[in-house]
Amino acid sequence: MDKISFNLSLFSYLVASVGYFIYLAYRRPLVSTCAGWAVAFGLFCQTVTIGIRSSQTGHGPYTTSFEVALFLAWLMVVVYFLTEWKYKIKDLGAFVIPLVFIVLLFSAFLSKETVLVPESEVRFWLTMHRTLSIMGYAAFSIAFAAGIMYLIQEHQVKTKKLGIMYFRMPSLEVLDDLNFKVIMIGFPLFTLGFMTGSIWNIQMEQPFFSWDLMRTLPLVIVWLIYGLVFFGRMITGLRGKKAAQGAILGFITVVGAYFLHII
């Protein structure tokens, strides 16, 4: 059952990605509406998958790599819907949903074995750590998409070559504002995730500084990059192209850190 719902959600996101690309290129409102429904259906199926899995393990989807990827993809769609509802940027789908599809497709190749974590104080900190971090990553993924859109639009306006995307994509101000807001939310969540992760580490009776450099250093770099963007915004008025580049670089580092983490 959870296999069926998983495959259905994967397929829905693929259909939606193609739909959003068509919308971006040919501006057919019906296609975008259909893509929106496909995403909604995908989200529903994914919720079913997560529900079934959680009922088997008795806790949320954050213990195995597969669960983490599943949960991340799910949250990315939720954040996407919230953003879409607030900003009405339909073209964002063409940048976010393919990303969701890739994350989910990747998770399909991971081990589906369940790991049972008995209820304990350790589990509480693990839950906090993973949930907060994944929420942060989901926000960062939207910042990444908004950053790419910003760079495309900025390049067109700056070089005075106003292509088809110029007319279809939102204004620089809106994209910059979106980038700003999601990092404003994502960075504190990620920071809390980082801190609770350290507590969990202690609970696991590993010394705080038993740093596995390969695993932890990239996360510190991620934290530093988003920290620079976050505080740069607040204090020095960092914005526009640099902020967009920061959001993109940050997300690429997140992906790199993730792979180092699961090796």
Partner 1 sequence: MISTEPNLVLVGVNHKSTPVEIREKLAFNQVKLEASLEHLVSCPEIAENIILSTCNRVEIYARVDNTDQGIQLLKDFICDYHSLARGSLDQYFYSYCDNQAIEHLFRVSASLDSMILGEAQILGQVKDAYSTARAISSTGLVLNQLFEKAFNVAKKVREETGISERGVSISSAAVELAKKIFEDLENHSVMLVGTGEMAELAAKHLISYGIKTVYVASRTYERAISLAQTLNGCALDFVAFKEELHRADIVITSTAAPTFIIHKEMIEQAIHKRKNKPMFLIDIAVPRDIAPEVNDLENVYLYDIDDLQNVVNANMEERQKEAENAMEIIKEEVTKFNNWFSTLDAVPTIVEMRNRAEDMRKIEVDKTLKNLSHLSESDQNAIHQLTQSMINKILHKPTINLKKKTQSKDGHVYLKAIRHLFHLDD
Angle (CA) 159-161-162 rounded to 5° is 125
Angle of helix 172-203 relative to helix 121-159, nearest 10 degrees, comes to: 160
At its nearest, how many Å lie between partner 1 and the CB of residue 84? 17
At its nearest, how many Å lie between partner 1 and the CB of residue 97? 24
Buried b (16+ CB within 10 A) or exposed e, 192-223: bbbebbbbbbeeeeeeeeeeeeeebebbebbb
Give the nearer residue to partner 1 in terms of CB position, either 101 or 180.
Answer: 180
Q: Which residues contact partner 1 by CB under 8 A?
A: 27, 153, 157-158, 160, 162, 166-167, 170-174, 236-242
Report d(CA 112, CA 107) in Å as an integer.
Answer: 9
Give the nearer residue to partner 1 in terms of CB position, either 195 or 234.
Answer: 234
Would you tell me how many other CB atoms lie within 10 Å of the CB of residue 148?
A: 16
At its nearest, how many Å lie between partner 1 and the CB of residue 237? 3
At its nearest, how many Å lie between partner 1 and the CB of residue 216? 33
Two tokens, residue 255: 């992906």
Give the nearer residue to partner 1 in terms of CB position, either 167 or 209.
Answer: 167
Give the nearer residue to partner 1 in terms of CB position, either 85 or 167.
Answer: 167
Amino acid found at 47: T
At its nearest, how many Å lie between partner 1 and the CB of residue 37? 21
Give the nearer residue to partner 1 in terms of CB position, either 112 or 239.
Answer: 239
Contact 189, 135 (CB under 8 A): yes
At its nearest, how many Å lie between partner 1 and the CB of residue 246? 13
- Give how far the C-alpha of residue 140 lies from the chain's centroid of Cα atoms, to the nearest Å: 6
Best CA proximity match to 241, nearest among 153, 141, 181: 153
Give the nearer residue to partner 1 in terms of CB position, either 111 or 236.
Answer: 236
